[in-house]
Amino acid sequence: MSTSESSDSGNCLGWAARDESGHLSPYTFERRTVGKDDISVKITHCGICYTDVIWTRNKMGWSRYPVVPGHEIVGIVKEVGANVEGFKVGDHVGVGTYVNSCRDCELCNEGMEVQCLKGVVLTYGGVDVDGSVTMGGYSNFIVPGKSLGVIGLGGLGHLAVKFGKALGLKVTILSTSPSKREEALHKLGANRFVAISNDQEMNESKSLDFIIDTASGDHPIDPYMGLLKTGGTFVLVGVPSEVKINPLSLLMGMKSISGSATGGTKHTQEMLDFCAAHKIFPEVEVVPIQYANEALERLIKNDDKYRFVIDIEGSLN
């Protein structure tokens, strides 16, 4: 969560966590010089994701402090390197979970830079080409008529519902919060809402082709596997601390489980084009950078309305 405006002790001002408490406070730092293949972006807004909680509080054990979080970035191009094509100063752009890769291996050439064989450079908490730690900004088998279950109705979940509907799928929301039923059905347009605690509703939902799990808190997987049709697929995109599953949940019914954190540039551009064509927009609550700590606490307590977005341009100065 930072801006590239100059400051007294560095060329960037951001908000950083200094230790495992995860508490954020103002922090100045130096970003490396823009190279011939680089783009420099003036950040205007940055979303708050649960992975920001994980990194700032060292939940995985690999955080490097200080941590300036933020990987859902939008802004304006302020400088481009000599070799850059397709972007110019003044363009409105976005940045996701990674900022660099080797750009030469098989996967990079296929537009899957996020899976770079030589190692991708994460937007924050990664090691850049100059050795410095990066600081953040803080499918063909799916066809119309098939059924999609969505676990969780937060920042990722509500977008999964919108994408599912745009793809012509029958969408069922699987939620621990019965209070979200009305909004899920009438505002987001889901076909069905299932309260996970309601055994009857769960039993009546055993007909899903796909389930996408967006929940980051620890939760059992087996009950959801039982909702899939024979040959159904369970996709994990949330980040629980561990996943436990009975092998029979997969074997009995020829079901599969997969996961994804982010896509490459080709898939991301296709996604953005799809959003533009179908008018898919996220539901957000815009907050100033000074509210970041409270927003993260609300995120932990599930007291958030889909997605917090920090107004970097309007509040970080």
C-alpha distances (whole Å) from 36 to each of 76, 81, 93, 147, 193 are 18, 4, 18, 47, 51
In-domain check, residue 217: yes
Residue 19 contacts residue 66 (beta carbons within 8 Å): no
Cα–chain center distance at 143: 24
pTM reported for the whole predicted model: 0.73
6 belongs to a structural domain? no
Distance, CA of 259 to CA of 208 (rounded, Å): 18
Position 177: which residue type? S
Instruction: Say whether both 97 and 196 belong to one domain.
Output: no
| Residues 31-86 pLDDT 10s | 778 888 888 888 899 998 888 988 899 988 888 899 888 888 899 998 899 998 99
Instruction: State the Cα–Cα distance between residues 265 and 272, nearest whole angstrom.
Output: 10
- Among candidates 120, 33, 22, which has minimal Cα distance to 68? 22
* Residue 127 sits in the same domain as residue 167: no
Asked if the structure places residue 5 within a domain, the reply is no
Does residue 296 contact residue 22 with C-beta atoms inside 8 Å? yes
Contact 38, 81 (CB under 8 A): yes
Residues 124, 109 share a domain:
yes
Residue 153 lies in a domain: yes
Same domain for 68 and 162, yes or no, is no
Same domain (yes/no): 154, 273: yes
- Contacts from 272-279 at CB under 8 Å and sequence distance 24+? 272/94, 274/163, 274/166, 278/166
Both 89 and 207 in a single domain?
no
Whether 306 contacts 48, CB under 8 Å? no
* Sequential pLDDT tens for the chain (317 residues): 555 543 345 578 889 999 999 999 998 888 778 888 888 888 899 998 888 988 899 988 888 899 888 888 899 998 899 998 999 999 998 888 777 788 888 888 888 888 888 877 777 666 666 666 666 665 334 557 889 999 988 888 999 999 999 989 999 999 888 888 898 899 999 999 998 888 888 888 888 999 999 988 788 899 999 999 988 999 998 888 888 888 888 888 889 999 887 778 888 888 898 999 999 999 999 999 999 999 999 988 877 778 899 999 988 86
CATH number at residue 192: 3.40.50.720
Q: Considering only the C-alpha atoms of the chain, give the largest distance between any 2 of them, rounded to a whole number of Å.
A: 63
Residue 252 sits in the same domain as residue 288:
no
Residues 262 and 154 in one domain: yes
Where a domain ends, among 67, 102, 134? 134
| Separation between Cα atoms, residue 256 and residue 152, nearest integer Å | 20
39, 129: one domain: yes
Same structural domain, 86 and 184:
no
Q: Contact 108/116 with Cβ under 8 angstroms?
A: yes
Residue 91 covered by a domain: yes
Q: Are 16 and 66 in contact (CB under 8 A)?
A: yes
* 174 plus 156 within the same structural domain: yes
Does 247 sit behind a cis peptide bond, omega within 30 degrees of 0 on the bond before it?
no
Write out pLDDT tens, residues 197-219.
Answer: 888 888 888 889 999 999 887 88
Rg of the chain in Å (alpha carbons): 20
The total domain count for the chain is 3
For residue 39, what are the domain limits?
12-134
Shared domain check, 236 and 166: yes
Output the six-digit token pair for 13.
Answer: 């001002």
CATH of the domain at 88: 3.90.180.10
Q: Which of 106, 134, 162 is the last residue of a domain?
A: 134
